[in-house]
Copies of this chain bind each other. A is one copy, B any other.
């Protein structure tokens, strides 16, 4: 096991001082051409690489950004991470990822640990539990310490920071409008209970689209799934005898359960009923029929979040600029679960 090479070791070996070595390696004009060459050659030969930790301590910058997400086993979040990583690496940052597992406590702990010097700033999407609890002290604390924070996807309005979100309402609207355009009149909605902000917004979009198309809103056609684990049976019961000609589901899973239920009723998708899902994942592409979806562009979202954060980190002036909220446009991806 070779010892890691340090400036001190090089200095001793070449019989110069540590400062000289440091300066030589950084091409300082103070050092003569001769010694510089000598030192650089030696460093290269023995593959010297400066120690990041020491640099971080010295510079009070770690060049890493912390990402905290509710769960990693989730296609959408991984696309976001992928976007973050690309931009971050491009700009010489690396990325620490922690998952909160949708637990408030774990979110707090992770934030605290990473805030103690490990990262220069944060990108985060809050845990469900945090949303419900409404306790954001950990976020404000981090901000007060002067660490930039960018929130994405599940953001908290009350917190003052940069944000990247998608236009859930408009996305939902797009979906329903498309259903109307292809001739659907009786459009069901499968959504979540209201405290999940995302579900609420998408529901609003659904309502607005119908209103604008002069289709009366029938509350019987709206299902708010109470228990995620029971969603399959809830959806099955809901679709019984509803005679809808279209379903808009706020996520892939609901859409797929809907399709299953419809098929069991002997109905054809998209022949008899068209189905659109929010969120565009692997599942949508491969399912039979493949799903028409509203794509959330996770990579784009991650990339923008990383850009916002790095801007604050690198620009002293940016620090005092007002906070931005970037809205990522959704787009409709037509596949085979809707008729033409």
Binding site for B on A (CB under 8 A): 1-2, 4, 49-54, 56-57, 62, 64, 71-75, 78-79, 81-82, 85, 94-99, 112-118, 144-146, 253, 256, 259-260, 263, 281-283, 286-288
Q: Give Cα distance in the complex from A42 to B4, angstroms.
A: 39
B94 x A95 contact (CB < 8 A): no
Q: Given the known A-B contacts A116-B49, A117-B51, are A2 and B283 also in contact in the complex, defined by CB atoms under 8 Å?
A: no
Q: Given the known A-B contacts A49-B116, A95-B97, are A81 and B72 also in contact in the complex, defined by CB atoms under 8 Å?
A: yes
Contacts A/B (CB < 8 Å), 12 sampled? A51-B116, A53-B117, A64-B96, A73-B82, A75-B75, A81-B97, A94-B113, A94-B118, A95-B96, A263-B288, A281-B282, A282-B283
A319's closest neighbor in chain B, by CB? B1
When distances are taken between beta carbons in the complex, the residues of chain B under 8 Å from A144 are 1-2
Q: Which of B4, B79, B145 contacts A73, CB < 8 Å?
A: B79
Expressed in whole angstroms, the minimum distance between the Cβ of A85 and any Cβ of chain B is 6
When distances are taken between beta carbons in the complex, the residues of chain B under 8 Å from A113 are 52, 94
B72 x A78 contact (CB < 8 A): yes
Q: Given the known A-B contacts A113-B52, A117-B51, A282-B283, are A97 and B99 also in contact in the complex, defined by CB atoms under 8 Å?
A: no
Q: Given the known A-B contacts A1-B146, A146-B1, are A253 and B51 also in contact in the complex, defined by CB atoms under 8 Å?
A: no
Q: A259-B288, A282-B282, A283-B286 are in contact. List 17 more A-B contacts (CB 8 A).
A: A1-B145, A1-B146, A2-B144, A2-B145, A2-B146, A52-B117, A52-B118, A53-B62, A53-B118, A54-B117, A73-B75, A73-B79, A75-B282, A95-B96, A96-B96, A96-B97, A256-B286
When distances are taken between beta carbons in the complex, the residues of chain B under 8 Å from A99 are 82, 85
When distances are taken between beta carbons in the complex, the residues of chain B under 8 Å from A54 are 57, 117
Q: Give Cα distance in the complex from A112 to B97, angstroms.
A: 19
When distances are taken between beta carbons in the complex, the residues of chain B under 8 Å from A145 are 1-2, 4
Expressed in whole angstroms, the minimum distance between the Cβ of A233 and any Cβ of chain B is 16
B94 x A94 contact (CB < 8 A): no
Q: Give Cα distance in the complex from A287 to B290, angstroms.
A: 11
A74's closest neighbor in chain B, by CB? B78
Expressed in whole angstroms, the minimum distance between the Cβ of A29 and any Cβ of chain B is 26
A51's closest neighbor in chain B, by CB? B117
